[in-house]
Amino acid sequence: MTQMLPMDDHPPQARPFAYAALSVIYGWTSRCIHVLAGAGVYDALGDEPETAAALAARTNVNADALERIMRLLASVDVFERLADGRYRHNEISRCYRSEHPIGAGAIALVQGMPLLQAAMSDFEISLKTGGSSLAKFAPEGLWAYFQKHPEEGRAFDAAMTNQSVMANEGLADAYDFAQFRSIADVGGGQGATLAAILAKTRDTKGVLFDLPGVVAGVKETPRLKVIGGDFLTEVPKGSDAYLLKFVLHDWPDDKAIEILKSVRKAMRAGAKLLVIEALRPDTPDFHLSKIFDISMLALVGGRERTEAEFAALFTQTGFRFERVINTAVPIAQIVEAEAVRPALRTPRRPTIPRTPAPRPELPARPSS
């Protein structure tokens, strides 16, 4: 969005204040994007320009409010507002249509959910405690909440699937997965990532592992085995490589260590661990992972990590950090590690007690 912070409109001495003020109130812009997704406005607007009033009539919203919202969004490059007051899609607003492959509309629906908005509203909880602000509204956790609210859960699953599919496009081409006879995708959902990888290899077989309810509808094939279970308890053994894609960022360090130890128990020495996440650069520059990091903090108490932070986790869990491989998608880097043999302890020699030699008796001193 090229016009989101138009600093050139302000004299130089006023620009710091203008930037600070605009940064604070731009939450309203995001909220406008959310509510239009919920109302179906992006899908209602077709290939031909239309007025806000016409769109409002078809989506059952207030015409004046819609005009004002679309006017704002057009000013930040979401929609194009024509000279006659009609609106038409541009390349950004089209991303929010339900059939668009990027699936930004599903993400907007999720971000606009009352539960997530409440977590954002009470984000001070995270600031004070270092934990999830969402826990105030869903003490049982995000995943349990979605099990009790299946409609919201389906919207969340759709958003995560779209994000995963987008990452998969660059993932399968960025790494030589054909070197492995078998790859286990731990916490692999319904198998979209593994399917993309197997499509790029000829002989590699896959093991899809996630909670039983998640993988229940996935069909096995001659090259795909499906196993239900809990990665905090036990992980299937025997694969040459193990994937953890967008898993560890859901958890704080103590739980991430628990997961990695569970995976390590299933691996032979020399097997590869491939963690796919939005690696957070340890630089002051803007990066999407820094936004995701705050989202993880508020929603689940997790975090995005740097290369050094992953290396430290690996050292504590029986892995050796190898390298980072970039993909064509900025939100997905591959962090490669190798399972190492436990360090052998040199047995201590038994201590043989020594009997002290008898002290020689000194001759008696002559009496004077």
Distance of CA 366 to the CA centre of its chain: 93
Cβ atoms of residues 297 and 289 within 8 Å: no
Closest to 55 measured CA to CA, from 37, 68, 40: 40
Q: Which residues are catalytic?
A: 249
Query: 324 pairs with which residues across the strands?
Result: 335
Q: What single DSSP character describes residue 228?
A: E
Side chain identity, residue 223: R
d(CA 155, CA 191): 18
Q: Where are any strands of DSSP class E within the chain?
A: 80-81, 87-88, 182-186, 205-210, 224-228, 241-245, 272-277, 319-326, 333-339
Tally: H helices and E strands in the chain: 15, 9
Which residue, chain included where needed, has tokens 């492959």?
101
∠ at Cα 303 (301, 307), nearest 5°? 160
Nearest to 321 by CA among 334, 330, 303: 334
Tokens linked to 181: 């006879």
Task: Give 49's DSSP letter.
Answer: -
> Among 308, 313, 212, which residue's Cα sits nearest to residue 261?
313
CB 110 within 8 A of CB 134: no
Handedness of CA 68, 72, 73, 75 (dihedral sign): positive
